[in-house]
Amino acid sequence: MARRVTSRDYGRPARPLLLRLAHAVCRGLGARGPSLTGAALESAARDAEGLEDFGDPAYREPLARLLAATESEAALHPTGRLVQRARLIGILRNRLRAEAIIAANPEIAARPIVAPIVVTGLPRTGTTLLQRLIAAHPEARAMRTWEGANPAPFAERRDSRRLRARAAHRVIATLAPDFLACHPIEPGGIDEEIVLIDHSLMSSLPEVMMHVPSYGRWHEAQGQGPAYRLLKRMLQLLDWQRPGARWVLKTPQHLEFVPDLLAVFPDAHVIQVHRAPEVAVASTCSMVAHARGMLSDVIDPAEVGRRTLAKTARLIAQMAVTRAASPAGRFIDVFYDALVGDPVGEARRVARAVDLEWGADVEAAITRQSAMRDHERFGKHVYALADFAVSDAEIDEYFGAYRRRFGL
């Protein structure tokens, strides 16, 4: 059977017929969907959990900024508003449960996260592949999708978090069938900790999901201490539930905020993955356009191209500043072509560089993981720079120095 091929008609997101009809009725009635205010979201979370303590109140300003941008810029359709409301209430409920569990088990907050292995790089450069290979090491521990969605278990006899993750997966597959082909996610699979960082309401995830440029500009100008402190707290909570010797983390956002990351995880090993920037930018644009199509019918590919180009250039520039101020050998470089050409060999090189033992059993485990790769299991992702009004000349202008430094 032929696999799904992603659409390049980004201005017209794929929609189930019933959903299109429902939205048409809502538009005819002038219905926008539920209101989104911080007080209402907090009240709903408290009512659902019967708890009061959200933890560090630093989340309230970014929440207010995000809600303001959502209302004025995002153009969410009614289902998008419902999804966004549910997502934010879920974050607040997780914070309530996490604080309650940690208060009842104070040893969690003292749990060490030892020398985490942090994979980062531009989006779409092979970071997911590398993380999953290293996570196959017997001493490694990575976050599962169901853990990231609900890091704090619910107060129930049987843990329903896996069932909830499968239900959320079905929603994504319905609202944006092409998105999973761009960014494969599976309920029981490994996921990136940006969803944990997002519990601080200070992450790049909202910009992927929605057109919220004012929130994005505000977020870039903020110190990320609260976000990384919360990330550590969530990792401690997850590690308490399912221990692991070494955490393997991964998200492109780290490129932008490595000093904040290292302030909280000073013994972290940071690995930067490199790929030709024109491929990374084009693929990221397509992923963002399909992601935004989950929540809105208003997608401007040219705007996605401009923002992605600027954001990608910022990630590279921020990492360059960090590396210039760091001692030689502080970062480990991996190149996409080498990684896909010899995944086990590159995993071996990285494992030795981050002080993970390597033997026949480890090689066998990582070889098995490499053989399981199927990045097109949800469909074939197709894209082109021209779809987003980005030219080769602009890529050269923005990334010429980066190309030359790393031989791309």
Q: In the numeric block, which tokens belong to residue 283?
A: 């693929």
Helix (H) or strand (E) holding 21: helix 17-29
**Which CATH architecture does the domain made up of 115-406 adopt?**
3-Layer(aba) Sandwich (3.40)
Q: Which of 331, 311, 188 is nearest to 258 (CA)?
A: 331
Distance (Å, whole) CA 274 – CA 339? 10
Do the Cβ atoms of 122 and 284 come closer than 8 Å?
yes
Do the Cβ atoms of 184 and 137 come closer than 8 Å?
no
Residue 37 pLDDT: 95
Q: In the numeric block, which tokens belong to residue 347?
A: 């995993």
pLDDT tens-place values along the chain, 408 residues long: 457 788 899 988 877 777 777 777 777 766 667 789 999 999 999 999 999 999 999 999 999 999 999 999 999 998 889 999 999 999 999 999 999 999 999 999 999 999 999 999 998 899 999 999 999 999 999 999 999 999 999 988 889 999 999 999 998 888 777 888 888 889 999 999 999 999 999 999 999 999 999 999 999 999 999 999 999 999 999 999 999 999 999 999 999 999 999 999 999 999 999 999 999 999 999 999 999 998 999 999 999 999 999 999 999 999 999 999 998 889 999 999 999 999 999 999 999 999 999 999 999 999 999 988 766 677 888 999 999 999 999 999 999 999 999 998
Residue 175 pLDDT: 78
Do the Cβ atoms of 111 and 126 come closer than 8 Å?
no
List the domain boundaries for the chain: 115-406
Distance (Å, whole) CA 69 – CA 88? 14
- Which residues lie closer than 8 Å to 252 by C-beta, 6 or more apart? 120, 121, 122, 123, 127, 204, 315
Collapsed DSSP state (helix, strand, coil) of residue 285: helix
Sole residue written with tokens 């599962």:
144
Sole residue written with tokens 């090993």:
269
Residue 124 pLDDT: 82
Residue 70 pLDDT: 97
